[in-house]
Amino acid sequence: MATELECPVDFITVNENKVRLTALNVFILAVVYLIIPHWIIPAFLSIDFFLRGFNFGKYSLLNILSEKEVQLFSIKPKPIDQAPKRFAAKIGFIFSVAILAATLFNFISAGIVLAVILTVFAFLESFLGFCAGCYAYTFYNRLFLKSRKQAVN
C-alpha cells in the first residue's frame, strides 16, 4: 500500500527561496552549536522558531536577515504555501527548547544529538529544498487519528 503525504495547507504563500535562506542560517547556527555547545544559540533559535511558527514571523531576526539576503542577491521569489513551513518551525521550536534544556541541565550529549537532527533537517531544507515537515505532519496525523479512532471505539 502506497503512503501518501499529508501536508498542512492555508493558501497563504511565502517565498520558498527566503525560507531556504532562513534554513541555511539555522544550519549555520546549529553547526556553530555543535562546535561550541553554548546555551545562547538554542535560546536564540527557540525564540526565532517560536516567532516564525506562531505567526510573528515579521519579528524573526532570521526572517529579516533572509529578506535582506534575497534583496542583496536579487533572488526571484518562488511562491509556496506557508503552512508546512510554519508546522516545521513549530517542530524546530520544540527541538530548540529541548536542546536548550539539555544544555542548561548539562546533558551535552543529548543536546548534541538533538542539534545533529536539527542540522540535518535544516540542511535538507536549505540545500535540497526537502521539507521534512510534511512527513512529520503525516506521521503526527496518522498517530493522532489512530489513537483518536481507538478512543472512540
- Over residues 97-130, the pLDDT tens digits come to 999 999 999 999 999 999 999 999 999 999 998 8
Q: Is residue 4 domain-resident?
A: no
Taking CB atoms within 8 Å and a gap of at least 24, the contacts of 65-70 are 65/21, 65/22, 65/25, 66/18, 66/19, 66/21, 66/22, 66/25, 67/18, 69/21, 70/15, 70/17, 70/18, 70/21
In the chain, the number of structural domains is 1
Q: Residue 151 pLDDT > 70, yes or no?
A: no
- Over residues 63-82, the pLDDT tens digits come to 999 999 999 999 999 999 99
Q: Is residue 6 domain-resident?
A: no
Q: Is residue 3 domain-resident?
A: no
Output the DSSP codes for 79-118: EEESHHHHHHHHHHHHHHHHHHHHHHTT-HHHHHHHHHHH
Q: Is residue 122 domain-resident?
A: yes
Q: Is residue 50 domain-resident?
A: yes
Q: What is the pTM of this model?
A: 0.87
Residue 101 cell numbers, joined:
534544556
Q: Is residue 5 domain-resident?
A: no
Q: Is residue 2 domain-resident?
A: no
Q: Is residue 8 domain-resident?
A: no
- Over residues 21-64, the pLDDT tens digits come to 999 999 999 999 999 999 999 999 999 999 999 999 999 999 99
Domain extent, residue 22, equals 13-152
